[in-house]
Structure 1
Amino acid sequence: MPLTSRRAVLKLGVAAAAMVAMPRLVLAAAQSAYRHYAPQASDWRGFDLSTSVTPPDGGATSVWLPIPSVDTPWQRTLGTKWTGNAASAEVVTDPATGASMLHARFDAAQTDRKVEVTTRVETRNRTIDWSKKSDVHEDPAVLKEALASSSIAPLDGIVAETARRVTAGATTDVEKVRAIYNWIVASCFRNVDTPGCGSGDLKALLASATPGGKCADLNGLFVGLARASGVPARDIYGVRLAASEFGYSQVGASSPDVTSAQHCRAETWLEGYGWVAMDPADVLKVMRKETDRWIRDPLVAPVDAALFGNWEGNWVAYNMAHDVVLPGAASATSVPFLMYPQGLAERSGRFDELDAKAFSYKITAAAA
């Protein structure tokens, strides 16, 4: 579908309409703070990432707070500690996926409940030089896992059909993932009405003529289509930590309060390059929220180019896990992915992880 037609179909919301109505001189002035988006290799940056919870009184209650459990050339964890009055609290790991979290339990009669977990992490920009290849290897078991289906990302039916159509004519893995990335940017859209980061349900997403969602949907679609094409790929669930150094408000945190700054990224394994960063969802976010001319806008082009292989180190990964079991739950309880705090009360049942106020939790990030 041509971009001009897609724009009409998507019925842009109030924010985009306001941008369209903005006089060109005013728009140019508003965009003057932007720099050409091109992340470069950088030094490590330290952050203290804290999640605090004051769950409501009423019956025995457990909470599971995701903590960074990814150590890579672009992220490392230096330590985790917790404080509060929970009856018990410990860092636990889902053995099947490796996702780590703080599991805190409050007794039925306990009041004024509070627990806070803080992890010190270091991150840095992730970049690639497409002109250079190297002899890189990965554990075959890891690559096999990165080709598997999950409860929200089956690899048959409409997912397989879409993958075949999108990658038709591509002969190498690089060509396949480039075709998938370009198709998502050209054919999907960021739906501002999608709750949270989206459900990641690929069949539901592809059932629409114009697939729309947020990062767990759009980057999850990249991963699903890559896997269905025989290219290892995986979702990486995390949260933004700091503003973009290039002035783009939508690809960074706007304040130290990052309670609603969750973001899912993606990566794919390419022979000669190793694990390579991907983030078509943020291209669509910039298109929807920071421009009035979609991909034709000069603000979008460098983001589109850079996020195929690069990203800024202003974000931290929690895990790369699907279908995560919450250890210590009274009954077998799992979530499709772990990017938000989880809670379970004896009387009222599961908490709504997207309702931070009712839960109630707060996430902050501070330079360390």
Structure 2
Amino acid sequence: MSRSTRRSILKAGLAAGLLPMMPLALRPAFAGQTYAPQVGEWTAYDLQTTITLAKNGPSQVWLPVPSVQTEWQRSVGDSFTGNAAQAEIVTDPASGAKMLHARFDAGTDSPTLTLTSRVETRGRVTDWSKTARVSEDPAVLQAALTGSSHKPLDGIVAEKAAQITKGAVTDREKVAAVYAWIVANCHRDMDVAGCGSGDIQATLTTAGLGGKCADLNGLFVGLVRASGVPARDVYGVRVAPSAFGYKQLGANSPTVTGAQHCRAEVWLSGLGWVAMDPADVLKVMRAETETWIKNPADPLVAPVNAALQGNWEGNWVAFNTASDLALPGRDGETLPFLMYPQGLTPQGKLDELDAKSFAYEMTATAV
């Protein structure tokens, strides 16, 4: 990468960091309004997951349970019904991620399980002009600086992070540079299944900078971590339409079986955890219209590009921030992330990306 290219990326990133503070009247509008998430009032949703397994011997399932309690999300309660021999909500001691773990006996007729979680959400907004004394558990911040199986922080990841952030001094400048680089250089690959594997080394090499949210926001998180700034993925599911008319930025049906989406956060001094979502910018560019928009300054994209660095809508429920998760009752293999139902039968692991054959359905209802 040339010095002029690095300088252009850094300038673009710093400019993007200022965009959330631009007067609303100066931002491009879409469908008669500007994309500008607000905190607003709390909205409650019942998020329900129902699984119905084939009668094929002793089986286990693990369903993600919303585990995040913050100023933008709070859990009201969880309940479950079905004919499992054993079922309980368990918490991963390392990450705090919660899941419903159930076992079905071999002779169970039509194994079924329904999990209902009532969650309240609201918009999340960063006021970049204000700072305060904020603190976090040092162990949490250290985890947000550490590599994982799908996010190695050495090799090509470290090299790319150094190139992108060259000349950046503060953490905020580094984050802005990485965010701008992702939007300018990566793309949403419509052929990738689900949310992608989250293998950021592959995204940088064999995947040609393409992928879905777990790949793209995962790459953002990895590059930020490799730059020395705490960052983490937040795995969840969309539960309602966007309030601003963007079909790609919300769930457009009460059935949300395929609406999983991961977002990202960075830790900035004086601000705490700050919302980030460059993958959704790339989703709007690739899929909001029939024509692939390749310029982030396009009037349709620009307000989203600005807003999703620091803000997001409350039409999404977070499950957890866990990586390399060990499922109770399942030996050996760990999950890079828990965002989809998981299942295990005598025939092997069920395909979480094939909801019909699994089979499961997820719905979200505003209460």
**Aligned residues of 2:30 and 2:300 also touching (Cα < 8 A):** no
Counterpart selection for 1:93 from 74, 91, 94: 91
Q: What TM-score, normalized by structure 2, do the two folds share?
A: 0.90
Q: Does 1:297 align with 2:298?
A: yes
Match of 1:336 in 2: 336
Counterpart secondary structure, 2:34: coil
Flag structure 1 segments of 5+ consecutive residues without an equivalent. Answer: 2-30
Match of 1:222 in 2: 220
**Aligned residues of 1:187 and 1:210 also touching (Cα < 8 A):** no
Structure 2 counterpart of 1:277, one-letter code: A
Match of 2:33 in 1: 35
Counterpart selection for 2:118 from 114, 117, 120: 120
Q: How far apart are 1:33 and its partner, in Å?
A: 3.6
Counterpart secondary structure, 1:305: helix
Q: How far apart are 1:208 and its partner, in Å?
A: 4.4
**Aligned residues of 1:34 and 1:247 also touching (Cα < 8 A):** no
Distance 2:358 2:206 in 1: 32
Q: Does 1:351 align with 2:350?
A: yes
Q: How far apart are 1:204 and its partner, in Å?
A: 0.7
Counterpart secondary structure, 1:161: helix
Q: How far apart are 1:297 and its partner, in Å?
A: 2.2
Distance 1:146 1:57 in 2: 41
Q: Deviation digits for residues 303-354 of structure 1, max 9, x if unmatched?
A: 000000000000000000001111122x234211000000000x20100110
Aligned ranges 1:134-173 → 2 under 5 Å: 134-173=132-171
Structure 1 counterpart of 2:81, one-letter code: T
Counterpart secondary structure, 2:279: helix
Distance 1:110 1:148, change over 3 A: same
Q: How far apart are 1:32 and its partner, in Å?
A: 6.8
Q: Deviation digits for residues 162-215 of structure 1, max 9, x if unmatched?
A: 000010110000000000000000000000001110001011111148400000
Q: What TM-score, normalized by structure 1, do the two folds share?
A: 0.89
Counterpart secondary structure, 2:33: coil
Distance 1:267 1:34 in 2: 30
**Aligned residues of 1:86 and 1:115 also touching (Cα < 8 A):** yes
Q: Identity percentage over the alignment? A: 64
**Aligned residues of 2:217 and 2:262 also touching (Cα < 8 A):** yes
Structure 2 counterpart of 1:303, one-letter code: V
Match of 1:25 in 2: none
Counterpart secondary structure, 1:204: helix
Distance 2:327 2:49 in 1: 17
Q: How far apart are 1:355 and its partner, in Å?
A: 0.4
Match of 1:105 in 2: 103
Structure 1 counterpart of 2:54, one-letter code: P
**Aligned residues of 1:159 and 1:203 also touching (Cα < 8 A):** yes
Q: Deviation digits for residues 58-84 of structure 1, max 9, x if unmatched?
A: 110000000101111110001000011
Structure 2 counterpart of 1:328, one-letter code: G
Match of 1:315 in 2: 316
Aligned ranges 1:49-64 → 2 under 5 Å: 49-64=47-62
Q: How far apart are 1:99 and its partner, in Å?
A: 1.2
Structure 2 counterpart of 1:101, one-letter code: M
Counterpart selection for 1:277 from 270, 275, 278: 275
Q: Deviation digits for residues 34-61 of structure 1, max 9, x if unmatched?
A: 6310111211110000100001111100
Match of 1:366 in 2: 365
**Aligned residues of 2:30 and 2:299 also touching (Cα < 8 A):** no
Segment drifting more, 200-209 vs 45-54: 200-209
Runs in 1 of length 4+ with deviation above 6 angstroms? Answer: none
**Aligned residues of 1:34 and 1:248 also touching (Cα < 8 A):** no
Structure 1 counterpart of 2:211, one-letter code: G
Distance 1:109 1:209, change over 3 A: closer
Counterpart selection for 1:67 from 65, 68, 76: 65
Q: Does 1:252 align with 2:264?
A: no
**Aligned residues of 1:123 and 1:313 also touching (Cα < 8 A):** yes
**Aligned residues of 1:240 and 1:316 also touching (Cα < 8 A):** yes
Counterpart secondary structure, 1:155: coil
Counterpart secondary structure, 1:335: coil
Q: How far apart are 1:110 and its partner, in Å?
A: 1.0
Distance 1:57 1:34 in 2: 52
